[in-house]
Amino acid sequence: MALLEVRDLSVVFSRKGQSPFSAVDGVSFSVQPGQTVGLVGESGCGKSVTSLAIMGLLPRRSARVGGSVAFEGTELFSLSDKEMRDRRGKDLGMVFQDPLSSLNPVVPIGLQVTEVLERHRGMARKQARAEATELLNKVGIPDPTRRLSEYPHQLSGGMRQRALIAIALACRPRLLIADEPTTALDVTIQAQILSLLKELVAGTETALIMITHDLGVVAGLCDEVNVLYGGRIVERAERHELFAAPRHPYTHGLLDSIPRLDAARGEKLSPIRGSVADNIPWDGGCAFAPRCPNALRTCVEVTPELEWHEGRLLRCHNPVQPAALGVGSKEAR
Amino acid sequence: MASKLMQRRRDRIDELAAGADEGVSLAKDAMRRMARNPVAITGASIIAVFAVLAVLSPVLAPKDPFIRYNELTDRLRPDAIPGPMPGFLLGSDQNGYDFFSRLLVGAQQTLIVGVMATLIGVSIGIVLGGLAGAIGGWVDTLLMRFTDIMLSFPSLLLAISIAALFARTSQWTVIIAVAMVAVPIFARLLRGSMLAQRHSDHVLAATALGVHRRTIVFRHMLPNALGPVIVQATLTLATAIIDAAALSFLGLGDPDPVRAEWGLMLANAQDYLEVKPELAFYPAIAIIVVALGFTLLGESLREALDPKTRR
Ligand SMILES: Nc1ncnc2c1ncn2[C@@H]1O[C@H](COP(=O)(O)OP(=O)(O)O)[C@@H](O)[C@H]1O
Ligand SMILES: [Mg+2]
């Protein structure tokens, strides 16, 4: 049985005086114990909303959540508030994008770690403190005993994110969701945090959902990658297959926009045309069509379905042909 | 390339700075910033002097402020009140008391009224604002409508109306009236910053950890929401002293003319402005300077606690 089974997840935001906005639509994926799954896409494509929906953290009033999320066979959406609170932090952990604002500025780091240990593992203050020292040590924070009594603003960005990871993993959740955990950090620190995450989940039963806008991040980390566009999955493949032969023009474009060390001198990066701003809704055609180099007439007439295509899931009328790869996008222009 | 170098250097400096102020909390950080601010120092000094006078005034007063002295009453005439004379630094007041001693003791009375009124106002305001911010829903709507109504009156007018409700006026009339005027301000302020906290990243993060709602309110929302309340409380001390003086002046306070309180002294001096203007002038100056002290301190506290100006 899968650890997490997301079926047909949809989130519609409705505000007074505004037309309802569909942020996530029909997203399905599953996560096996110990597996690392990537959710990739440009900002605004619904990654954070997906993760908040899984955690049950979307605002009740404005967000209508549909579909189902099963965790070890238990339907999370049918749990009571209290049951869900008991699971958050214990079964499901989450690491957010901005480590500074995700920590309480007026509470020492130590208390923010022991808080969860006392809450979910029933530890006494003293025992929790010993465990907290251990945890900070494990995530590579030097001099953990001293750090415990420090406040978030006294730590560097990288150290803060390490502390947040320690907090999220304190109760050994079986699923960790990391929502762009490196986006707010320096390039050098990014790599450290990524390898820390990798190290912490490798060889354990802890599964990881890695959310990022950067395909480079998933390259070294994920077993399986879901590419999101406009709130829907447009391509899902095993990591090696995806990187070797991206089939959706959007994935292809994302890959092409990553700087490469082996690129020839003078060769320009090729960013995808346009931006999510000229997003169109999915009904009556492909949402990516206006930006797509491969767009056909059918693309603006018929909404593509997510279908099996040569061993992967693909939502495209005119996928990139493997033969065209390498020279691909350059000739297309 | 250059920018990356800069970034690394900045991080290094940050790290050094972080290492230097080991164990320093935000509050201490704010204190340190205040200690470097001349405005804060001025305000704090004024308040310190005032506080010391208030506490020590019974000891410091050269004469008993509640005894009429024959030396003074003998010379008291409708068109002349004795000025400075040996033993009586500022001479007599209109009733034959030692004016200087009464001014000193007045510091104590004025401080007590200001502090009590502010404390009561803050406490009730925090409870109401905290409830509104933590519970939300109809509790919030009801409480906020109530504060809207209270805030729609000019503050002094509201204080006068509340004071006028009392059958017998006393010092407590003033304190309660001034406190009630402050309640809606603090309620609204705390409610607003609690709401901001509710939508903050760290509260979302704490919620994602399954932390109890009680802990979220008391550990993660309230302490972070209190900053503006503390600033406002300091500023309110200033207006409370002025409002209390105004109520005394209007005869809504303690009717006992013997009591030494600046507002009352000011009120009672108004018939003697032509005979001895100092009788009104000194209490008025004292009220203004003290209010200024609290305002300066409050404003610099606001600045020191403002995250936008921090590092
Ligand atoms: N609370 C909300 N209310 C209304 N719209 C929202 C809310 N949260 C997110 N959205 C919208 O949903 C879309 C997806 O957002 P998000 O999941 O945060 O994107 P990202 O992939 O960058 O994480 C965006 O267009 C955003 O404006
Ligand atoms: Mg996001």
Q: Is B32 touching A (CB cutoff 8 A)? A: no
What does the pLDDT look like over A110-119, one tens digit per residue? 999 999 999 9
What's residue B12's pLDDT?
54
Question: Residue B17 domain-assigned?
Answer: no
Per the CB < 8 Å rule, is B223 touching A107? yes
Tokens of A209: 């959902």
What's residue B116's pLDDT?
95
What's residue B256's pLDDT?
79
What does the pLDDT look like over B23-76, one tens digit per residue? 456 677 788 888 889 999 999 999 999 999 999 988 888 888 888 888 888 888
| Mean predicted confidence (pLDDT) in A159-168 | 95
For residues B194 and B135, is the Cβ–Cβ distance under 8 A? Answer: no
Residue B257 phi/psi, 5-degree rounding, is -70, -15
Ligand 1 within 6 A of CB of A128 = no
Question: Residue B65 domain-assigned?
Answer: yes
**DSSP helix/strand/coil, A313:** strand
**To which residue do tokens 């820390």 refer?**
A196
Ligand 1 within 6 A of CB of A44 = yes
What does the pLDDT look like over A117-129, one tens digit per residue? 999 999 999 999 9
- Of A248, A91, A108, whose CA–CA distance to A171 is shortest? A91
* Residue bearing the CA closest to ligand 1, atom 10: A23
Question: Residue B62 domain-assigned?
Answer: yes
Ligand 1 within 6 A of CB of A47 = yes
**DSSP helix/strand/coil, A330:** helix
Question: Residue B15 domain-assigned?
Answer: no
Residue of B202, B214, B216, B222 to mutate when probing chain A, most A C-beta within 10 A: B202
Residue A291 CA to ligand 1 centre (angstroms): 21
Q: In this model, does residue A263 exceed pLDDT 60?
A: no
What's residue B75's pLDDT?
81
What's residue B236's pLDDT?
92
Question: Residue B88 domain-assigned?
Answer: yes
Per the CB < 8 Å rule, is B201 touching A101? yes
Q: Which ligand has the shortest distance to the CA of A25?
A: 1
Ligand 1, atom nearest to A59 Cα: 1
Among A16-30, A267-281, B278-292, name the one with the lowest average pLDDT: A267-281
* Residue bearing the CA closest to ligand 1, atom 14: A46
Among A6-20, A93-107, A149-163, A219-233, name the one with the lowest average pLDDT: A6-20
Angle at A236 between CA A93 and CA A304, to 5 degrees: 125
- pLDDT band at A275; cut points 50, 70, 90: low
**What letter does residue A267 receive in the DSSP assignment?**
P
Parallel, antiparallel or unpaired: strands A92-95 and A175-179 = parallel
| Mean predicted confidence (pLDDT) in A245-272 | 74
Q: Which residues contact A30 (CB under 8 A, 6 or more apart)?
A: A2, A3, A4, A5, A6
Ligand 2 (single-atom ion) residues, CB below 5 Å: A 48
Among A71-75, A198-202, B39-43, name the one with the lowest average pLDDT: A198-202
Q: Which domain holds residue B277?
A: 24-309
pTM: 0.83
Among A224-238, A273-287, A291-305, B64-78, name the one with the lowest average pLDDT: A273-287
Q: Which residues contact B150 (CB under 8 A, 6 or more apart)?
A: B158, B180, B181, B183, B184
Tokens of A125: 């203050």
Ligand 1 within 6 A of CB of A45 = yes
**DSSP helix/strand/coil, A94:** strand
From chain B, pick out residues whose CB is under 8 angstroms from the CB of A155: 18
Structurally, chain B folds into a number of domains equal to: 1
What is the rounded distance in angstroms from the CA atom of residue A75 to the CA atom of residue A144?
38
Expressed in angstroms, the distance from the first to the final Cα of chain A is 46
Question: Residue B165 domain-assigned?
Answer: yes
Q: In this model, does residue B96 exceed pLDDT 60?
A: yes
Question: Residue B296 domain-assigned?
Answer: yes
- pLDDT band at B91; cut points 50, 70, 90: confident
Percentage of chain B lying above the pLDDT 90 cut: 46
Ligand 1 within 6 A of CB of A14 = no
Question: Residue B179 domain-assigned?
Answer: yes
> CATH number, domain at B47?
1.10.3720.10
What does the pLDDT look like over A44-65, one tens digit per residue? 999 999 999 999 999 988 999 9
Percentage of chain B lying above the pLDDT 70 cut: 90
From chain A, pick out residues whose CB is under 8 angstroms from the CB of B211: 89, 115-116, 119
